[in-house]
Chain A
Amino acid sequence: MNYRNISLFAMVFFFLIVVGLIQSWNVAFGLLNLCLLSAIMALGVNIQWGYAGLFSIGTVGFVALGGVAAVVTSMPPVEEAWRTGGPGILTAVLTAIITIIAAMQVWKRASAGIIRNLLMIFVLVGGFFLFRSLLDPAAAIIEKINPAGEGYLGGLGLPVIFSWLVGGVFAAGAAWIIGKISLGLRADYLAIATLGIAEIIIAIIKNEDWLTRGVKNVIGIPRPTAYEVDLQKSETFINNVNWLGMEVIQASSLYVKLSYGILFLIVLGIILWMSEMALNSPWGRMMRAIRDNEEAAEAMGKDVTKRHLQVFILGSAVCGIAGAMMTSLDGLLTPQSYQPLRFTFLIWVMVIVGGSGNNWGAVLGGFLMWFFWVEVEPIGHWILSILTAGMAEGSSLKEHLLDSAAHMRLITMGAILLLSLRFAPKGLIPEK
């Protein structure tokens, strides 16, 4: 860390302090929490792109899987749903797994030819019909149980912190499947395949009500921190707040945000430390050597596809962890909020602007771009209102322009990526 990098980080914290002084500390800490989450996601993408040069545009899918993990681990189980529909769902999932294993075995063991192809198609189609015939009735039963509040399986009722790890495992599993299929082929196949899997994961979250309640959203996901309501009733808290001379309601929400912030900071610290250790180990140097010259690495006997698979899984797992953390921060799972712009593209911009290949760069990019992302809309609105100030009141063009301020984000973020890629491809904190 040299003075330049330290001053870059200082600048971000200065921005946050300005927000705290001008708007409110609540807003500033809310921003800080999301900055920390963005930094973790950026670290995940940096592992894929910065270390290994893998281009995946399915980050949103892995983040969403993390959100599902938060629901299935930490929500209290819906007893009736488990009792009536649970066995059906479990056998259906088991059938799906057995079908895929059977198909793989057929492919491996039978000798190549039309019979093998037909046999495999037969196994897959048969397995699919069996899966649907088991899943559909069970799902229908579950979705009928108290649809207004439940209508889904619920979770395992474990502490929500545990779900952060589960989110990583889910994302790693999905990444393993995608990586197995699309790595080792031409580079853009990974991009296309991840684009597809992300859309499918989000379609599943939106439509499989028995798992995630679909568009009805899961609310009230348990928190790893205290609740504002409890704090406002606790006497020690009120006494402490009075001693500090603050307002109780504000202080309680500040306290919650601060505790989230500390938890996130610990996770970020651990992941950053591990990433740094990995990058500066023989493994990290090998990874970068593969990225810079695949043929030479292959000639030296390195299994490039296997290493790529490894790094792709690791990066996706980090994104999954961040996804679970974000859902536990929000306390709810809203499938519609998983938009590629917000969770894939923005994270990419963070990594490119911050400095791909450098973990500190990715963290800085995460902080800086999240801050910018939040501020673009008000700034865009402000610019447009100045531009349209001279126009007649109520003219349709003026209204149209003011309404369009929301789309300024897309244009600005696209422009930032293109400019950064062209004029500062190494980013703010370049790779050493």
Chain B
Amino acid sequence: MDILHALIVLANFIIVPAIAYGSQLALGALGITLVVGVLRFSNFAHGETMAFGTMIVILITWWFTAMGLSIYPLPTALLALPFGVIGCIALVLFTDKFVYKFYRKAKATPVVLVMASLGVTFMMNGLIRFIIGPGDQRFADGARFIIKARDFKTLTGLKEGLAIKVTQCITLVTAIIVVAALFWFLNKTRTGKSMRAYSDNEDLALLSGINPERVVTITWIIVAILATVAGTLYGLDKTFKPFTYFQLLLPMFAAAVVGGLGNPVGAIVGGFVIAFSEISFTYAYKKVFTYILPTEWAPTSLVQLLSTDYKFAVSFSILVLVLLFRPTGLFKGQST
């Protein structure tokens, strides 16, 4: 029995990575849920929106590094983030003007908007691959670790190490700042309140004189900010590859549905639910059990519930369970 060591192993391989991944998913799911709430369709182009914002951040980061600009120990990408946000806002407002606005005016059914978003997905995807290519791009510079596994061991004298990456810490801090700002905006400002009113009941909102186009524009701006931040944090923490961002759609949608589509608090909770389940279902627990169980019971296999190739199956299964038993999500969202 060695619970302390088992806990450190769990913290190192599950809790710390899942908190970082969960924050990234939560930011992504927030963007999806806001579009559902205000524009009333599932935006399949959200993964590409994230990738586009991140791409601009990467390009600006390269330019800054070439000029010798740096904010060591923090990654240069944080300095480039505002430019990425601006680029992303320009892109989503452009697509809204030339694609979605028409269907909104024509009061088309949500399915048509979803299909249009699929067209947008592929155009954006092509554009991204055209500009930066389909390959892997690493752009995380600055210090790598806040605490290395080895330093942790010498510091505490324990056998297991706990590593915390700078990017994981930045992810959490940035996510908290962005989410706090978002909720302050939604709950305290006049514009935020009009957005929520429009989301709750369009007709009543129009009767009380809210300008729908303004609400839509502001929603897109917020979505672009969230998408760029989420995409950049994910890219810093892991790596940037256009196809991975397309694949993020499933966990992000699962997170938004789990929390209840259209419900911002739900999206955050959903993001963490998905991240923790994905990582804990695909982690091999051999080491943990070796510490907890007596030596003669120690497992010989990996004790892994699912191989990491099936991590999408985890978010999918959670999605299915929610659809079966609670279609409105954990928090009340729009179910019809």
Contacts and interface: CB of A to CB of B under 8 A. Distances in A.
B279 to A, nearest CB: 17
Contacts of A189: 257, 323, 327
Given A186-B336, A191-B42, A415 B114 contact: no
A199 B114 contact: no
A206 B118 CA distance: 25
A187 B119 CA distance: 18
Contact of A57 (B41, B118, B316): B118
A345 B120 CA distance: 12
Given A185-B327, A206-B309, A421 B126 contact: no
Contact of A345 (B118, B323, B335): B118
A192 B121 contact: no
B184 interface: no
Given A196-B316, A407-B126, A418-B120, A187 B111 contact: yes
A414 B120 contact: yes
Contacts of A191: 42, 44, 114
B309 A414 contact: no
A207 B310 contact: yes
B323 A411 contact: no
Nearest to A419: B119
Contacts of B180: none
Residue among A55, A340, A414, A422 having the largest count of chain B Cβ atoms under 10 Å: A414
B127 A193 contact: no
A407 B261 CA distance: 33
A430 B126 CA distance: 29
A290 B249 CA distance: 30
A411 B130 contact: yes
Nearest to B309: A207
B99 A418 contact: yes
B250 A404 contact: no
A181 interface: yes
Given A187-B110, A188-B42, A207 B327 contact: no
Given A192-B319, A196-B316, A345 B309 contact: no
Contacts of A206: 309
Contacts of B110: 186-188
Interface string B251-279: 00110010001000000000000000000
A199 B123 contact: no
B257 A414 contact: no
Contact of A404 (B129, B309, B324): B129
Contacts of B129: 404, 407, 410
Contact of A411 (B123, B246, B319, B335): B123
Contacts of B1: none
B319 A196 contact: yes
A200 B310 contact: yes
Nearest to B131: A404
B111 A188 contact: yes
A34 to B, nearest CB: 20
Contacts of A407: 126, 129-130, 134
Contacts of B334: 186
Interface string A116-148: 000000000000100010000000000000000
B115 interface: yes
B312 interface: yes
A328 B134 CA distance: 31
A278 interface: no
Contacts of A181: 320, 323-324
Interface string A335-374: 0000011000100100010000000000000000000000
Nearest to A184: B327
B249 A195 contact: yes
Interface string B196-232: 0000000000000000000000000000000000000
B313 A414 contact: no
A340 B243 CA distance: 11
How many residues of A sit at the interface, in one of the four size bands? 35 or more
A414 B331 CA distance: 35
B12 to A, nearest CB: 25
Interface in B128-144: 129-130, 133-134
A409 interface: yes
A199 B247 CA distance: 9
B112 interface: yes
Interface in B95-117: 99, 102, 109-112, 114-116
B315 interface: yes
A189 B114 CA distance: 11
A192 B257 CA distance: 10
B253 A192 contact: yes
B122 interface: yes
A246 B147 CA distance: 75
B312 A203 contact: yes
Interface in B300-336: 305, 307, 309-310, 312-313, 315-316, 319-320, 323-324, 327, 334-336
Given A182-B323, A203-B310, A195 B123 contact: no
Contact of A203 (B109, B122, B309): B309
A181 B326 CA distance: 12
B161 to A, nearest CB: 30
A197 B307 CA distance: 17
A96 interface: no
B118 A417 contact: yes
Given A181-B320, A188-B41, A404-B133, A422 B102 contact: yes
A413 B127 CA distance: 12
Nearest to A177: B320
B168 interface: no
B125 interface: yes
Interface in A258-285: none
Given A182-B323, A200-B312, A411-B123, A192 B42 contact: yes
A104 to B, nearest CB: 11
Contact of B122 (A197, A207, A341): A341
B126 A411 contact: yes
Contacts of B320: 181, 193
A418 B126 contact: no
7 contacts: A186-B261, A191-B42, A196-B315, A196-B319, A207-B307, A407-B126, A411-B122
Which 4 A-B residue pairs are closest in the complex by CB-CB distance? A410-B126, A414-B123, A411-B126, A414-B122
Interface of B: 41-42, 44, 99, 102, 109-112, 114-116, 118-127, 129-130, 133-134, 246-247, 249-250, 253-254, 257, 261, 305, 307, 309-310, 312-313, 315-316, 319-320, 323-324, 327, 334-336
Given A196-B319, A418-B119, 15 more contacts: A182-B323, A185-B335, A186-B335, A187-B111, A188-B41, A188-B114, A189-B323, A192-B250, A192-B253, A192-B257, A199-B312, A203-B310, A345-B118, A414-B126, A418-B116
